[in-house]
Amino acid sequence: MTLVQSRTVISGLLFVVIILSGLWLSNSGRPINVIVLTVHKLIAVGMLVLFALTLHQMNQAGGLNTAEFIGGGITVLFFIGTIITGGLLSTENSMPRVVLMLHQIGPILTVLSTAATLYLLLNHKP
């Protein structure tokens, strides 16, 4: 299995854990279950690190083309936005409904953008 193939499998599995734990958090209400929240956020941050590392390694190996570079950059921004809205929802304070809406749209955009970028990297021609 190539580097990108194994990262794609790992990312798919970790996204399932993040989304299931997120739905758990939403359905179980307040006070937030600290263990589930910790799993949810640590995996999210870990995935961002893994994704950025994959981009870096592919860039070192042969250089990213423009589409891969732009796709990677957009994905990193979606990850950061989702992590910020998740961080706001994790505080004791009640947040405006728009923050939850952004944390529902953000994951969809992050998953789609990650999948599209990994697809480009899987078909990377040096």
Interface with ligand HEM, residue 26, by CB under 6 A: yes
Q: Return the residues of window 54-83 that contact ligand HEM according to CB under 6 A.
A: 79, 82-83
Counting residues that bind ligand HEM (by CB under 6 A) gives 23
Interface with ligand HEM, residue 22, by CB under 6 A: yes
Give 10-72 as a DSSP string: HHHHHHHHHHHHHHHHHHH-SS--HHHHHHHHHHHHHHHHHHHHHHHHHHHHH---HHHHHHH
CA 30 to chain centre: 24
Interface with ligand HEM, residue 87, by CB under 6 A: yes
The contact set with ligand HEM (CB under 6 A) reads 18-19, 22-23, 25-26, 32, 37, 40-41, 44, 79, 82-83, 86-87, 89-90, 100, 103-104, 107, 110
